[in-house]
Amino acid sequence: MAGALSATPSRRDYSLVGRDTQLAVDNGLAAAEWYHTEVPRKQMKELMQRSDGPALRDTIIWLGALVLSGAGGAWFWGTWWCVPFFFVYGTLYGSSTDSRWHECGHGTAFRTQWMNDAVYQLACFMIMRNPVTWRWSHTRHHTDTIIVGRDPEIAIMRPPDLIRVVLAFVGVLDGWHAMKDTVRHSAGIINAEEKTYVPEQEVPRAILIARTWLAIYAATIALALYTGSFLPLMLVGLPRLYGAWHHVLTGILQHGGLADNVIDYRLNSRTVYMNPISRFIYWNMNYHVEHHMFPMVPYHALPRLHELIKHDLPAPTPSILAGYREVIPAFLRQLRNEDYFLKRELPPTARPYREELHNDKAAAAAE
Amino acid sequence: MSDWIEACKADDIDEEDVKRFDHGGRTFAIYRSPDDEYFATDGLCSHEKVHLADGLVMDDIIECPKHNGRFNYKTGAAKGAPVCVNLRTYPVKVDAGKVLIQIG
């Protein structure tokens, strides 16, 4: 079983300091000029406008639900009644922080910058992503989206390691790596890959935050030992594991199974229609092509942006289920042929892909 | 001292907005503040050379369209990650309905 699902050695070198890093530079894929749909300046200005209202409303609901579900879980601790409360608490803690981290990192959720910063710091702690190193890794992700050797945030590399994908739903490996990174950063160590995208002057802040977090986790563990109860860890730390499922469920669909080494977001990103609860948790990042093409547009304006430019984009995936119906077979096929990918079809109204800018071999592997 | 160069008409730029101006192989960004004052900076973000004229002006801030890096367009000051290097600013004046910038 493990042999069937495990990755064979990849011909792609995903290291940020390896062979494909130089190849991406040589092929003009690093810091390239990406395709954008034309949107009149007046309309784009309207879409980019910032407002505190929607994010304040959503943050009050989010924090209120966190407090209530956490209190409910603690109140019913020791009985089965705590399970639904911790299900909600964990999802809000371990999944909705993925989108809060992301949107506030872009600085688009709120108009008021300190509000973006405050929610960013809180969400980073909960999702266990160092706010300094991850800000810079995400900057690179937007510069070189799914460019092998350049993008540090390629969630599923080819051929896909499906055991790792499954484990991500319960946060086991992510949590382990996050704790190792926190300890490493606390010791003042920034690795070679991080040095390629984190400026030197930012390093002391990354170290300070890691040390602060380590102190918080140490205090939580001490409290658990002192009280002889697992409860403190159910409220701080572990929800990153047992609540990770939703952000992995939605995150895999962002780029999973699509082209790599192309400079057109319509080819390597996926827009998926989702239910309102998932969109609240995910802060509309299901409009992922739109987000990558225009990262200045706040999450609450993405549905309007989608309506404006959908004539130039591949048809959106109609649901999460439909997304997995195409992604899972693509992953299985990539186990045998890592060059295989899902090629997006454009509507007749769209401007065509510039095939000459895409990897010829990869294009041939697609169907 | 360099000559003043005509960049655009004053009403080519909406209030709280920005316009691109190319001259002599260089690119600049011309801003009109909410207080109806005009300013000019280098046109490309100091982070990854993206045209700031595609970005968003909010009060005295220009936000880069690619990575949301923020600058004070009146002073050129970088306001935080991912921008670390200030923008160069240029003197601006409005004369007979035209925006003139002095390129050093």
Instruction: Report pLDDT for A9.
Output: 61
Rounded Cα distance between A331 and A350, Å, is 28
- The backbone torsions φ and ψ at residue A99, rounded to the nearest 5 degrees and listed phi first, read -75, -35
Rounded Cα distance between B20 and A49, Å, is 20
For chain A, the domain total comes to 1
Q: What does the pLDDT average to over A297-313?
A: 97
Instruction: Report pLDDT for A4.
Output: 45
Rounded Cα distance between A253 and A272, Å, is 8
Instruction: Report pLDDT for A2.
Output: 36
Task: Look at A202 and B58 and tell me if their CB atoms are within 8 Å.
Answer: no
Q: What does the pLDDT average to over A309-315?
A: 96
Tell me: the pLDDT tens digits for A108-136?
Answer: 999 999 999 999 999 999 999 999 999 99
For chain B, the domain total comes to 1
| Cα-based distances in Å from A344 to A15, A198, A338, B102 | 27, 33, 17, 48
- Provide the mean pLDDT of chain A: 93
Q: What's the complex ipTM? A: 0.87
Q: Which residue of A has its CA nearest to B50?
A: A33
Which residues of A, range 182-201, sit inside 8 Å of B by Cβ?
199, 201
Rounded Cα distance between A188 and A69, Å, is 36
Report the predicted TM-score, pTM, of the whole model to 2 decimal places. Answer: 0.91
Looking at chain A, the whole-number percentage of residues with pLDDT higher than 70 is 94
Tell me which of A80 and A355 has the higher pLDDT. A80
CA-based diameter of chain B, in Å? 39
Any CB–CB contact under 8 A between A45 and chain B? yes
Burial group, residue A240, by CB count within 10 angstroms (0-12, 13-18, 19+)? buried
- The backbone torsions φ and ψ at residue B32, rounded to the nearest 5 degrees and listed phi first, read -120, 120
What value, to the nearest 5°, has the Cα angle with vertex A59 and ends A54 and A62?
125
Low-confidence winner among A74-78, A208-212, A240-244, B82-86 (lowest mean pLDDT) = B82-86
Instruction: Report pLDDT for A185.
Output: 96
Tallying the residues shown for chain B, one arrives at: 104
Low-confidence winner among A194-203, A340-349, A353-362, B53-62 (lowest mean pLDDT) = A353-362
Which residues of A fall within a CB distance of 8 Å from B81? 132, 135-136, 139, 202
Rounded Cα distance between A157 and A144, Å, is 15
Chain B contact probe: residue of A49, A115, A134, A143 with most B CBs at under 10 A:
A143
Does the pLDDT of residue A51 top 80, yes or no? yes
Nearest to A261 by CA among A357, A366, A196: A357
Residue B64 structural domain: 4-102
The 3-state DSSP class for residue B41 equals strand
Q: What is the dihedral of CA A223, A229, A235, A238, to 10 degrees?
A: 100
Confidence label for A356 from pLDDT (cuts 50, 70 and 90):
low
Q: Which two tokens stand for residue A199?
A: 């400026």
CATH number at residue B70: 2.102.10.10
The distance of A315 to chain B (nearest Cα, Å) reads 25
- Provide the mean pLDDT of chain B: 94
Does the pLDDT of residue A276 top 50, yes or no? yes
Which residues of B, range 2-61, sit inside 8 Å of A by Cβ?
17, 48, 54-56, 58
The answer to whether A48 touches A106, Cβ cutoff 8 Å, is no
Does the pLDDT of residue B13 top 50, yes or no? yes
The distance of B20 to chain A (nearest Cα, Å) reads 12
Low-confidence winner among A30-44, A73-87, A270-284 (lowest mean pLDDT) = A30-44
Which position has the token pair 């827009």?
A271
Which residues of A, range 245-284, sit inside 8 Å of B by Cβ?
none
Burial group, residue A104, by CB count within 10 angstroms (0-12, 13-18, 19+)? buried
Strands B56-58 and B38-42, by their bridges, are unpaired
Task: Look at B65 and A295 and tell me if their CB atoms are within 8 Å.
Answer: yes
Instruction: Report pLDDT for A3.
Output: 39
Q: Which long-range contacts (CB under 8 A, 24 or more apart) does A275-282 make?
A: A275/A320, A278/A246, A278/A250, A278/A320, A280/A58, A280/A61, A280/A96, A281/A91, A281/A92, A281/A95, A281/A96, A281/A99, A281/A246, A281/A247, A281/A250, A282/A96, A282/A98, A282/A99, A282/A246, A282/A247, A282/A250
The answer to whether A110 touches A299, Cβ cutoff 8 Å, is no
SS3 content of chain B, % helix, strand, coil (to 5): 5, 50, 45
Residue A19 structural domain: 2-365
Q: Which two tokens stand for residue B35?
A: 């207080």
| Cα-based distances in Å from B32 to A5, A115, B16 | 58, 26, 5
The answer to whether A29 touches A147, Cβ cutoff 8 Å, is yes
Low-confidence winner among A37-41, B46-50, B94-98 (lowest mean pLDDT) = B46-50
Strands B98-102 and B92-95, by their bridges, are antiparallel
